[in-house]
């Protein structure tokens, strides 16, 4: 694949580069789409090519039904991503995206397919940590909006746009259903390193819940806490990308030596 236009609908705003050493797949938060990451390529080094994931039900795939359970979502993602595992790669997921990327990595391992060389998870409690909040995806509209506002589950600018929030209700409910109906199944930890990010002002996810990701890897673990709330992905984007690149530098160095 040499041009973004020839890619699967699962990949939007991708920047394919035949000279890159590493492919970065990015998974967004509940209600978000691939456009969340469209500016990231401008801040990434040329060794990293960006591949944001576009789930059904949003943006360019608005007409498609969103998934409401994680198992069929992972099954579909696993099939879609398989042709793009022909280069060393890593996963980055924010909030819901962290959970999806984690379960996708475990599914790829079960299939004996190439695995991510690093898992970067952001603004999400570790999968084995129970949810502290009751489910909200089936609440009436007004209560649902109040709850996602309280939980910081959707950017404030989206919640203030009445027309937009009505259009997003189906995908928001579906995404919250994916997260809230998720049941963790014990398995051996991943072998790849995990870097976890959290927000010091995030009232939904505590530092301890983010730090618990260390139990999901037999490899190296690192925790970074940023100053912002749940959506430091936007407010502290430049710093977050710098930390991601910093986390991947040893891997990039190793890959460069392999190609000498």
DSSP string, 202-255: -SSS-HHHHHGGGGGBSS-EEEEEESS-TTHHHHTHHHHHHHHHHHHHHHHHHH
In a domain, 138, yes or no: yes
Alpha-carbon span 175 to 31, nearest angstrom:
7
Does residue 188 sit within a domain? yes
Of the candidates 95, 101, 122, 177, the residue annotated as catalytic is 95
In sequence order, which residues have a C-beta less than 8 Å from that of residue 183 and are 6 or more positions away?
none
Q: What is the pLDDT along the chain (260 residues), one digit of tens a residue?
A: 344 446 799 998 888 888 899 999 999 999 999 999 999 999 999 999 999 999 999 999 999 999 999 999 999 999 999 999 999 999 999 999 999 999 999 999 999 999 999 999 999 999 999 998 888 999 998 898 888 777 665 667 777 777 777 788 899 999 999 999 999 999 999 999 999 999 999 988 999 999 999 999 999 999 999 999 999 999 999 999 999 999 999 999 888 766 44
Number of domains the chain contains:
1
What's the pLDDT at 107?
Answer: 98
205-216 core/surface letters (b: 16 or more CB in 10 A; e: else) = beeebbbbbeeb
Structural domain including 91 reads 9-258
Please report the pLDDT score of residue 155 as a whole number: 66
* pTM across the whole model: 0.93
Classify residue 37: in a domain, yes or no.
yes
Residue 3 falls inside a structural domain = no
Does 1 map to a domain?
no
Residue 224 lies in a domain: yes
Handedness of CA 23, 24, 30, 35 (dihedral sign): negative
DSSP state of 26: E
pLDDT of residue 153: 55
C-beta of residue 92 within 8 angstroms of C-beta of residue 36: no
**Residue 28 is among the residues annotated as catalytic for this protein:** no
Asked if residue 4 belongs to a domain, the reply is no
Q: Is residue 29 part of a domain?
A: yes
pLDDT the model gives residue 124: 97
CATH label of the domain that carries residue 215: 3.40.50.1820
């Amino acid at each position: 694949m040499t041009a973004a236009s020839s890619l699967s609908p699962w990949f939007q705003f991708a920047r394919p580069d035949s000279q890159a050493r590493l492919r970065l797949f990015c998974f967004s938060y509940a209600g978000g789409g691939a456009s969340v990451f469209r500016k990231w390529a401008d801040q990434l080094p040329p060794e990293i090519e960006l591949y944001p994931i576009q789930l059904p039900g949003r943006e360019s795939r608005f007409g498609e039904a969103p998934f409401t359970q994680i198992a069929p979502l992972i099954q579909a993602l696993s099939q879609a991503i398989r042709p793009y595992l022909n280069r060393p790669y890593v996963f980055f997921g924010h909030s819901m995206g962290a959970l999806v990327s984690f379960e996708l990595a475990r599914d790829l391992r079960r299939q004996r397919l190439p695995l991510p060389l690093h898992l970067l998870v952001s603004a999400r409690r570790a999968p084995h940590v129970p949810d502290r909040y009751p489910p909200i995806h089936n609440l009436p509209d007004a209560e649902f909006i109040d709850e996602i506002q309280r939980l910081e589950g959707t950017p404030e600018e989206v919640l203030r746009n009445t027309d937009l929030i009505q259009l997003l209700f189906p995908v928001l409910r579906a995404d919250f259903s994916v997260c809230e109906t998720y049941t963790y199944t014990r398995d051996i930890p991943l072998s790849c390193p995990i870097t976890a990010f959290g927000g010091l002002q995030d009232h939904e996810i505590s530092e301890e819940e983010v730090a618990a990701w260390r139990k999901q890897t037999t490899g190296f673990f690192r925790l970074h806490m940023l100053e912002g709330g749940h959506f430091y992905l936007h407010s502290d984007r430049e710093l977050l990308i710098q930390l991601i690149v910093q986390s991947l530098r040893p891997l990039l160095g190793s890959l460069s030596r392999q190609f000498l």
